[in-house]
Structure 1
């Protein structure tokens, strides 16, 4: 029996979804940072945790993945998850293996029915190579647990997966013209579905995401408040929309909204070029991804009938899992 597993290796966050019971009634989700670094010449035993999910070895190489990377390597020592050759690379593969270990922590030999996604802008050029890379037997270790995993893989655009998630509760999403704007850490993808088929000429991606807003907020705090915030805690600042300033908590909701409007300009321009007249011919437009709540006001300014996806942060990976049913 092959176990269904969905893994969305985003440019900033990796998310996974799987069924925790044989009846497929309960879906488990998890996430960790998309970060990886290779140890040069191995690693000393005194820092090798046999139970760690973020230490991956395969093909004679050893990798720190996720939170382990931040503990052991400087930012300039980590692999670049924004390069055109990222998907299918050794670091990308190590992250995929770490995700498998989180869903199936006991190790061993088994089959996985894998569903994964690619950004809309690179899907066509990379899909076949990714499938060739995945559809085989994979041997690796995570911590001290040994794995021998035979994969049957499917690859689809991340934005399309978000639309599939919406279709789970509303079949009309597949029967009419629907669209999604999927806002990730470093990139934003957008896609249009017409009668269940992807309209490639109205679907693409752009290298703007939450990271640009995070950087803009960090600059504002430094310039306006003289506050230099550790980059490691900026994700929490964005989530809470607040930060400690001296002895008080500073509410950042208003300034984040203002900065998001500025940062979203390239996204707006791309959507205006791809979707004429405010997307009035598209019945439903969803906003998904980890940056969806932050950029919703900017998107709805040019697409007034757009609305947040159900569970926007996990819409893509839930859609990837839905495809396997």
Structure 2
């Protein structure tokens, strides 16, 4: 982590189950990037370094947490010898060493060693349980082995609120109108009904269903058809999103066929959303966001046929862009308030 050397006023990090998304200001622009939320044990690439450029260097870094080094970065391996790529899919994800290692990776690849305000998100289902612990754990000086990161203040937001704040900057946003944000993540699907920026908590919630469940269903179906159980859902995910061929041994698999059969997964999640929200005749628009938005879109359109439904542009970055906007706006307000107080003192 030797490249950590700059200061940022605001850094927003959405440590998702599938990918870790980051937003940081770069001059007049807000830069975003992401890397897989995978944390296998770190192994130094000694043969790569000694190959005189014949082998391609891998964009990963070793992040130390509690005495153990994890490999983190854009080119972290999607599979490993035992079929476990270092993916953590548990409800208390934000309390794990893997989560902390991914946060360390976000600082490293953002080239940031100190920040005035760090903004993180949590799924709706776990927000009340873990938000305060997160604020306590990741404020102040953070230690990643020999590297230190200084965090002045930590803001924690429910994940779909990031997309809502991001949408509030859109010309179509009207404070008097009611909308619903559906955030399809890797492990959870969250939804927020809000009038303007006022969240209606009774009609908002979360469900343990996301892209990982969709791809797991596909893997089960493909495995049953090919008599092969050790299939990496990360590679199925990559092939579906990139539109590239997927093989089991030498057999090319028709992923579209199995994706259609896996629609039972989003259909169950959307039924839960419908029961929570009730009638949607007062909702102007349903906005889909999150990395799994395209996978769940057919089921959502079928369940809410009379609602206007929009898939947010660059949906996987909607939350983290909203986190950044919220962090920057609140920090500016606080600084303005302090300046005014100092002038009148």
Same fold (TM over 0.5): yes
CA distance in 2, matches of 1:47, 1:149: 35
| 1:164 and 1:323 in contact (8 A); partners too | yes
Corresponding residue to 1:97 among 100, 104, 107: 104
The corresponding residue for 2:157 is 156
Alpha-carbon distance change, 222 to 92 in structure 1, aligned in 2, over 3 angstroms? closer
Return the alpha-carbon distance in structure 2 between the equivalents of residues 48 and 152 of structure 1.
39
Aligned to 2:124: 120
SS at match of 1:28: strand
- 1:53 Cα deviation from its structure 2 partner: 4.1
User: Structure 2 CA distance, aligned partners of 1:125 and 1:147?
Assistant: 27
2:88 aligns with one of 65, 81, 84: 81
Secondary structure in 2 aligned to 1:35? coil
1:14-29 paired onto structure 2 within 5 Å: 14-21=20-27, 25-29=28-32
Query: Compared with structure 1, are the counterparts of its residues 44 and 195 closer, same or farther at alpha carbon in structure 2 (3 Å cutoff)?
Result: closer
Contact 1:192 1:199 in 2 (8 A): yes
Q: 1:71 to 1:319 in 2, by over 3 A?
A: same
Q: 1:45 to 1:290 in 2, by over 3 A?
A: closer
Q: What corresponds to 2:197 in structure 1? A: 196
CA distance in 2 between partners of 1:222 and 1:86 (Å): 28
Task: State the distance in 1 between where 2:61 and 2:216 align.
Answer: 27
Change (3 A) 1:7 1:47: farther
Deviates more, 1:166-175 or 1:65-74: 65-74
In structure 2, the gaps of 5 or more residues are: 1-6, 50-56, 329-345
Which position in structure 2 is the counterpart of 1:322? 325
Matched, 1:3 2:9: yes
**8 Å CA contact retained: 2:78, 2:235:** no
Q: How does 1:1-325 map to 2 (within 5 A)?
A: 2-21=8-27, 25-37=28-40, 46=46, 53-66=60-73, 67-68=75-76, 74-76=82-84, 78=86, 81-104=88-111, 109-141=113-145, 146-170=147-171, 172-224=173-225, 230-231=231-232, 232-241=234-243, 243-244=245-246, 252-253=255-256, 255-256=258-259, 258-277=260-279, 279-304=280-305, 305-325=308-328
Given that 1:213 and 1:259 are in contact with CA atoms closer than 8 Å, whether structure 2 keeps it comes out as no
Distance in 2, matches of 1:69 and 1:8, equals 21
| CA displacement at 1:309 relative to structure 2 | 1.4
Q: Distance in 1 between matches of 2:133 and 2:167?
A: 28
Deviations 1:256-291 (A, max 9, x none): 2x23431112212211211213x2211121011111
Q: Distance in 1 between matches of 2:178 and 2:197?
A: 8
Alpha-carbon distance between aligned partners in 2 of 1:15 and 1:301, rounded to the nearest angstrom: 30
5+ residue gaps, structure 1, are none
CA 1:140/1:194 → structure 2, altered by over 3 Å: closer, same or farther?
same
For 2:227 and 2:80, the matched residues in 1 are separated by 29
Mapped to 2, the partners of 1:11 and 1:139 lie a distance apart of: 23
Q: What SS is found at the alignment partner of 1:81?
A: coil
In structure 2, the residue corresponding to 1:310 is in which secondary structure? coil
* Distance apart, 1:224 and its partner CA: 4.7
Q: CA RMSD in A?
A: 3.2
Q: State the distance in 2 between where 1:242 and 1:27 align.
A: 31
Kindly state the Cα deviation for residue 98 of structure 1 after the two structures are TM-superposed.
Answer: 0.7
Q: 1:223 to 1:242 in 2, by over 3 A?
A: farther
Does the 8 A contact of 2:12 with 2:24 survive in 1? yes
Question: What is the alpha-carbon distance in structure 1 between the residues aligned to residue 251 and residue 80 of structure 2?
Answer: 32
Give, in whole Å, the separation in 1 of the partners of 2:82 and 2:72.
13
For 1:34 and 1:234, the matched residues in 2 are separated by 16
